[in-house]
Chain A
Amino acid sequence: MSSLTRYNRQIILPEIGEEGQEKLSRSKVLVIGAGGLGAAILPYLASAGVGEIGIVDHDVIEISNLQRQVIYKTEAIGKSKAKEAKAMIAELNPLVKVKAISEKLSGRNAISLFEKYDIIVDATDNIAIKYLINDACLVTHKPMVYGSIFRFQGQVSVFNYKNGPTYRCLYPEENLNAANCEEAGVLGVSVGIIGMLQANEVLKMILGIGAILSGKILVYNTLNNEQQKYDFEKNDFQSITREAFEEKYNKCEVEEVSFESVLNEMDNDEVLFLDVRNVDESPKISLKNQIQIPLMHLESKLEKLDKKQTIYIFCQSGIRSKIAFELLQKHRFKNIKSIAGGALAMRNLLEEKKDSHEFTNFIF
């Protein structure tokens, strides 16, 4: 019963009632960023009785944060934002289940995290991560509540709401240069206002009341109190599959090594040298632990390779071996490297070493 009393002032709103309160307590919201926007959003979601809140932030509190990130105390400088925000909520409303995630949001954790929540709130401060959130929301079919600030102006919108327009429909060009608060400066109340508008959209969505800012971007100017709404439509091409997401965000750079740096591993049985050239190519290289699978056949002969081994891939000059690297990576090989310069560079080095009689265990 204490919860009915706690939430009484909103339960008596005809638009909410006990039923609305029940919806709130069943809802799960993930807030990404516990900075200025997050500091406005989090206490209001918690006090309204959102059942479960996740907070993603890998930063620690700095003194220059306190003028706008009003949930943190001076004595908390140096502590984890996610953990401090969690502690704040625990004191504010112990009925809320909170998870502090002190990790950087990335292509590796975004999808598994988003799957656990109903609504994703973008309270971040850089453009690249907004595209990542947008794309992960598309893959997991979650709405994204967007907010951002430039000095005395703010923007709010809700993307991918019921399959509606996305961040990419509004900003198709991925330009990562826009200034954040550190560079541009900001007054605490400005982020507070925008964060509050985001929290409002979250609550409306959960309660099913009002009109959601879907396909609309609200632009607010705190200096003259003007606000404008702009409509935008969904672009046809804006769908992204899980595979495309992985491809975009989880592809590692091809790791290259020089042959010289791995010469001392030539006799190591944990190591395999993989020649992806065609059999008629020369110079022939034959090392003790070597196998030849031409690139064109590689994907169909993966069973010949052992994922536990370290695999050094080479071709003639180091181009095809990079393609082979990506192919093996796609099939979840971890310990792989491409040999820079390929067989040509390897032969030169082996000849040098042969002349100096350092190595005798190879044949041309």
Chain B
Amino acid sequence: MDDIRKKAKELLESHAVDVVIGYGEGTAGKVRAIFPRKAEDAEKLIFDGRCEQNLAVYLLKHEIKHMGKKAIVATTPVMRSILQVASEYQLTQDEVLVLGVSPEGKYVEIADFAAMEAYLKTQDFGIPAKDKAILDKLEGMTLEGRWDFWLEQLSPCFKCYACRASCPMCYCTRCFVEVNAPQWIPIAANELGNVEWHLLRAMHLAGRCINCGECGRACPLEIPTHLLTFKGVEDVKEDFNVVAGTSASMDSLLSSYKADDKETFIR
């Protein structure tokens, strides 16, 4: 961690970057995102097992995006998010300097996107075992059982959109729920509307989700919204051999096609 603090301090002192996005101490043992802009504030940066929030979401937040050059403390999910949004032309290499962190908490020097891609090839980013267990359990249920499960899970949702707001890939300035002529997805948090919202968001993330799980963590009602997007991650790997966030120049799954995409159900 000292290496990261030192590097951050250097970058701020030399004005190589205008802001460092990292983790700091929060309320009563929680961790929060911090944004040191003065070299002495780099001391506040921490890194330990509590640091899970996907900080990449801040790179595209208007007031931070326009602060100039940004450095970001980046774990594997953050790196993948950066590559994914870069592949979607939302971020350029000269806007961001990546301060890599290995799963063991060690500083990893990352010169550019190519270096990040190379580093990621050495990392494992499967879906966590406990989520995989739930996905498998759901797959073993009947269709009706799954419908009942999801209706029950999603009916407490009050559409705060914390899931959307915390996702680096949900950067649309006008989300599909904000289309109001007509208002396709109800604003009010009714049962079916909630299913539509979560299912369609998962669909919009197909081939883009990098399974950080932030949406599930962000939910104030502890609804496992991440299970839907994780299922998408599994499916696209199986059907298309696509793994999001591994290259700054990969084609987006649903904006591209292969003439020989194989399906079995079109009559």
Whether A and B are associated in the same complex: the answer reads no
Interface residues of B (CB under 8 A from A): none
Interface residues of A (CB under 8 A from B): none
